Amino acid sequence: MSTAPQVLLAHHLKQLKLPTVLREYDKVARECARDGVDHPRYLLRLIELELIDRERRTVERRIRAARFPAVKSFDTFDFAAIPSLNKPLVLELARCEYILRRENVIALGNSGTGKTHAALALGLAACQKGFTVAFTTAAALVNQLMEARDERRLLKLQRELAAVKLLIVDELGYVPLTATGAELLFEVFSQRYERGSTIVTSNLPFEDWTQVLGSERLTGALLDRLTHHVSILTMNGDSYRLKQSAGRRRSAARAEQYPASDTIDPDTGQITTT
């Protein structure tokens, strides 16, 4: 008895890595038969579905490879909450053309103002536009570099870090670095200079970076490279976290004050009596 064509077809499609064609060919065939669609158009529909799915899978793979601590986008970013931030500049950056020009972005501001959120959203946009991305914190990166150096695989790690199209280094400034740590970090920025884009976020203004990096000479050289082609996002303001929890506390207090027939809008804090 010969094998059913469906079995062989499934086998071949798996080998050719066309999972969407395999999943959809029967359903699309029935739709096309119903609508009187000819064979070339049937094939076209099927192949287009595979292409769309493949692109989605590639983006998902890039997002996993980037190691974001959370996936965040500008869809959930409230620009009104941070008036110091240049919204048109951020939206322009979200188009990722700076990555083609190998330019950098530095987000500066106090804690809780959305620097990490903005960096994550720029990282996500880059993944969606087809760029490879790596996300790390300054402290984790330095640890990784020191470990690699001790295990004699620093060169390999440095090559990997130099190869990604967008490197995001979050939270420069929370932890002071050792002299070796600062030098290793400097080398990363130096090796990426005019080869790839780097986003750095920091709670410290530039004049205080020496405190983190230890040496004035090194800080000068690092800033020189990092800020040669750069967009600076100024993100000073009230902490979004604090505002949110204060808002929740106020709503809760009002809820106790007013009878149950009043409803409180959690966003505006407005009370509607029913």
Residues 6+ apart with CB under 8 A from 202: 106, 107, 108, 115, 171, 172, 173, 209
Residue 195, C-beta contacts closer than 8 angstroms, at least 6 positions apart: 102, 162
Which one-letter amino acid corresponds to residue 209? W
Q: How far is the CB of 166 from ligand ADP (least distance, A)?
A: 17
Shortest Å, Cβ 143 to Mg ion: 18
How many Cβ atoms are within 10 Å of 110's Cβ, its own excluded? 13
87 binds ligand ADP (CB under 6 A): no
- Strand 271-273 versus strand 262-264 pairing type: antiparallel
Comparing every residue's Cβ against Mg ion, the nearest one is: 116
Query: Could you tell which of Mg ion, ligand ADP, none binds residue 112, using a CB distance below 5 to 8 A set by kind?
Result: ligand ADP
Q: Which does 78 bind (CB under 5 to 8 A by kind): Mg ion, ligand ADP, none?
A: ligand ADP
Compute CA 82 distance to the chain's CA centroid, rounded to the nearest angstrom. 19
Gap between the Cα atoms of 162 and 129, Å rounded: 19
3-class SS of residue 200: strand
The interface with Mg ion within residues 73-132 (CB under 5 A) comprises: 116
* Interaction residues for ligand ADP, span 111-150 (CB under 6 A): 111-117
Only segment of 15-23, 93-101, 109-117, 226-234 that touches ligand ADP (CB under 6 A): 109-117
Minimum gap (Å) between residue 106 Cβ and ligand ADP: 13
Q: Could you tell which of Mg ion, ligand ADP, none binds residue 219, using a CB distance below 5 to 8 A set by kind?
A: none
CB of 119 to ligand ADP, least distance (A): 8
Number of residues binding to ligand ADP, judged by CB under 6 A: 15
What does the alpha-carbon distance between residue 177 and residue 87 come to, in Å, rounded to a whole number?
Answer: 32
Is the CB of 62 or the CB of 117 nearer to ligand ADP? Answer: 117
Integer Cα distance of 97 and 87 in angstroms? 16
Q: Is 78 an interacting residue with respect to ligand ADP (CB under 6 A)?
A: yes
Scan for tokens 């990426």, then name that residue: 192
Contacts of 144 (CB under 8 A, 6+ apart): 136, 157
Rounded Cα distance between 75 and 90, Å, is 13
Nearer residue to ligand ADP within complex by CB, 111 or 227:
111
Q: Is 25 in the site for ligand ADP (CB under 6 A)?
A: no
φ and ψ of 119, to 5 deg: -65, -40
**Smaller CB separation from ligand ADP, 42 or 240:** 240
* 175 is a contact residue toward ligand ADP (CB under 6 A): no
Binding part of the chain for ligand ADP, among 6-14, 35-43, 105-113, 140-148 by CB under 6 A, reads: 105-113
| Closest residue to ligand ADP: CB criterion | 114
Q: What whole-number distance in Å separates Cα of residue 238 and Cα of residue 13?
A: 55
Residue 241 in the binding site for ligand ADP (CB under 6 A): yes
**Which residues contribute to the site for ligand ADP (CB under 6 A)?**
72, 76-78, 81-82, 111-117, 240-241
**Which residues contribute to the site for Mg ion (CB under 5 A)?**
116
